[in-house]
Structures are given as C-alpha cells and as structure tokens.
Structure 1
Amino acid sequence: MAELLAPASCPLCLGGDNRFYHQDKVRCYWHCAHCALVFADPGSHLAADAELAIYRQHENNPQDSRYRAFLNKLAAPLSQRLGTTGLTGLDFGCGPGPTLSLMLQEAGQQMAVFDPYFANEPEVLQQQYDFICCTEAIEHFYQPAKEWALWLTLLKAGGWLGLMTKLAPTQDEFARWHYKNDPTHVCFFSRETFLFLAERDGFTVEFIGNDVILLHKKALS
C-alpha cells in the first residue's frame, strides 16, 4: 500500500495529529488524537450533485409511523428535559421531508427548519433558539467545526442540543461497521468525541442508547 498523507487538520477540532485508522476498497479513514473523531479522507468526498442525488432517494415521510417511532427516540427524551411548551427550536439538517419538527410542533413547540439542500433559508440562522435538533445529519458534515461553531452561536444559554447519529465503535469493530459504507457518511463521532466537545464548550452530555446524544448548555451564572 502506498504511503498515505495524513490530513493537516481534523475537520472538527482542527487538531493536527491525525492518524491512520482504517482503509477499505473505497476510502481511507483517519482518527484525530485530540477529539477522537474518525473521518473519511477528504479526497473521497462526493461532489455536491452526487451527494444530493443520494439524498433525494431518502423516503422520509411525516405520515410514516415507523419513521416517527424512529425519531421519537430523540423527541421523547428531549421533550421530557425541555419540560415546557412554547419554546423555540431549530431542526437543522431536516432533509426533504421534515418530520421531527412537525412532531415537536405537535407537542407545542415553535419550530424552524434548515437544510443546505432542502430548506436553505439563511434567515432562520439569524436568531437564537431554546433547543436545536440534528437527526442523522451530523455524520454528513464535511467540516463539522463550522456547523458546531454555528450551533454555539444559535443556542441560548441553558439550551439543549439533541443529536442522533450512530456512535463510532472500537477500531476492530469499525472494519465491519455498516454505517461507514454509506458514501455520504464522512464523520463518525464516539462518546469520547462528545465528551471532548462538552468539556471544551460548556455542556453536560447524556447518552441514550447508541445513537441519541443530549447536550445541555450551561446557563449564565
């Protein structure tokens, strides 16, 4: 195998110590020694039109009871922790058939949606929110440092960030992990990664199962 050149910086924490992690027939993957993010080599990223073509194949129907049950893995515990209605929320990366936002709106919250392909309305990024949701989207971000920094500005002190993404397994398990085989999945977060972000940026973090992460931004003292 030809010697591979490690990326100069991690796409999440921008650290410069990125080490070879895994290689399959399609891509090479790297591991950040600072934040533990595992990420696909940037040279393997799809062009925007190819990426969009795959997203258009997703069948996210708000009337699909199974899809609602899947999203409820986040909606239910998040609603419990919000504890009240009438709050402002943002569904970031809502996809072609926004459903979580509809579910939370039905539960009494005031929802906005954003998606760079399907709901690209920059005006919703000009205000702060009591909570932000991102379901099955963070693993698609080519430069998650940018989205994470944006979320820090959009989320009010004391607010909640609710995420759904499959947590990265051990290095041995990664080779057999089906989640990495989707060509639009480029960044893989572990518990260690979220603990790093929480400590750095003033959150407490709670893991529910293997794919729901709730982060609570510390209130102003």
Structure 2
Amino acid sequence: MPSCPLCGCPYLRHFHRDARRDYLRCETCRLVFVPPEQRLSPEREKAVYDQHENHPDDPGYRRFLSRLFDPLRSRLVPGAEGLDFGAGPGPTLSVMFEEAGYPMAIYDPFYAPDPAVLERRYDFITATEVVEHLFSPGHELERLAALLRQGGWLGLMTKRVASEEAFARWHYILDPTHVCFFSEASFEWLAQRLSMSVEFPAADVVMLQKQ
C-alpha cells in the first residue's frame, strides 16, 4: 500500500474503483489519489496535453480563468511579480496578468521547463488545473510556497471532491491525467502545514496566503 502523496500518511482506505483505476483516500488530509502503478507514463501523459487547445485569444477560456484572475488581482499591489506554474502548451493566465501590469514568469515541466524561474521569489503564484495532475503534490506545493515572499498568494484552480457518491459519477475522474483529487479539508490541512491562510472564493478556486 502506498503512502499519501500529499501528507505522507500511511493510513489509507479504498475509496472508489472504476473500469480503469482504483482511488484511495488518505484518512489524515482527505486527499483522494490514484495508486502510482496506475498512472500514465510521461510520454502518454504529454500526448494527452498535446491535444489541449487553450489559447489566449479564446474569450471563453479567459472567462474560465477569470474565476481565479479576478479575486487574486484584487488582492495584489501594483507591479506584483508572479509565476504561472504548469502553464501548459498555450499560456493564457500569465498573458492576462501581464496585460494588467504584473510581470510574469512561466514554468511547465513539458512546455517551459526552465529551472531558473524556480530559483526566484514571487509575490504570487498561480496553478490552474494543475494540482490534480501532480504525482507528488505535497513536495510540489511546499516548493511553490517557499518561492513566495512574505504575504504572497498561491492561487489554485481545481475541482473539489464533494462526497463518495458524487465521486462515482464525476466527469473529472475520467481524464487519465487526473491523479489527485482535493477536498476542502485537504486544502485546510495544507494551509495549516504550510502556515498559510486559505480562502475559497469559488467552487473550484483556492487561494492561500503566506503568513
């Protein structure tokens, strides 16, 4: 039995099984995750991402991202410096922030793998539709929090687990690259672990502030 990829806890229970995969839930941080041996290989994972058609000229995609952009921007000081982590093949949120006057860096392990940007400090970091793809979310989110200046914001977008019954019918688990599923309790645990405050401005938006 694996340990939880968010908190490292060994106390897990079987949460759900479908035709393709199993899903385990951590009894400490409430993360639901796919066992490591059932994840895609990096090559197959990237093949799925290559099919994404997100683009900054798409007004619908901009409206989708505005669910994080609007509440986060309202909390930033002019000229705040940001990082868009997991920007994907068509970075768009970084463009929106740059248009609003916020200098941005981008990082993506497949499309913009520049390790130098992970050595700098930022006033805010965004990760939209990213955390559900992470194999080691505890390590990655702790690393991102360490890149924030005091008072900085970590803004995340991901759909949250509601209940065991809803999970069984959830379209979100059908994407083979989605391997970690957070609940509100998971983010509250994470905030305490990282000494951050946490807000939930929308159903799929989470904002954590470094204290």
Contact 2:130/2:158 (8 A) holds in 1: yes
Distance 1:153 1:78 in 2: 19
SS at match of 2:190: helix
Structure 2 counterpart of 1:36: 30
For the pair 1:87 / 2:80, whether they are aligned, the reply is: yes
* TM-score relative to the length of structure 2: 0.98
1:101 aligned counterpart, secondary structure: helix
Shift in Å, 1:209:
2.2
1:128-186, Cα deviation, whole Å (9 max, x unpaired): 10000000011000111221121122111110010000011201111001101100000
Q: Is the 8 A contact 1:161 1:214 kept in 2?
A: yes
> How far is 1:41 from its partner?
1.5
> For the residues of structure 2 that align with 1:53 and 1:199, how far apart are their CA atoms?
36
Q: Does 1:187 align with 2:187?
A: no
8 Å CA contact retained: 1:85, 1:107:
no
The answer on whether the counterparts of 1:21 and 1:171 sit within 8 Å (CA) in structure 2 is: yes
* Structure 1 segments unaligned to the other structure (5+ residues): 1-5
| Structure 2 partner of 1:22 | 16
| Map 1:166-185 → 2, pairs under 5 A | 166-185=159-178
Structure 2 residue matching 1:81: 3-state secondary structure: coil
Runs of 4+ in 1 over 4 A off after TM superposition: none
Indicate the SS of the match to 1:156: strand
Superposition deviation, residue 122 in structure 1: 0.4
**Deviation string for 1:94-149 (max 9, x for gaps)?**
00010000000111101000000000000001111000000001100011122112
Unaligned stretches of 5+ residues in structure 2: none
1:65 maps to 59
Contact 2:86 2:109 in 1 (8 A): yes
Q: CA shift at 1:216, angstroms?
A: 0.9
**TM-score in terms of structure 1 length:** 0.94
Of 53, 59, 70, 2:47 maps to 53
Q: CA deviation at 1:208?
A: 1.9
Question: Does 2:108 match 1:115?
Answer: yes
Q: Distance in 2 between matches of 1:146 and 1:192?
A: 18
CA distance in 1, matches of 2:154, 2:146: 12
**What's the offset of the Cα at 1:75?**
0.3
Aligned with 2:96 (options 100, 103, 108): 103
AA matched with 1:19: R
Match of 2:130 in 1: 137
Identity %: 51
Give the C-alpha shift of residue 81 in structure 1: 1.1
Distance 1:152 1:207 in 2: 18
- Kept in 1, the 8 Å contact 2:82–2:122? The answer is yes
* In 1: Cα distance, 2:49 partner to 2:202 partner: 26
Find 1:78's aligned residue among 47, 72, 81.
Answer: 72
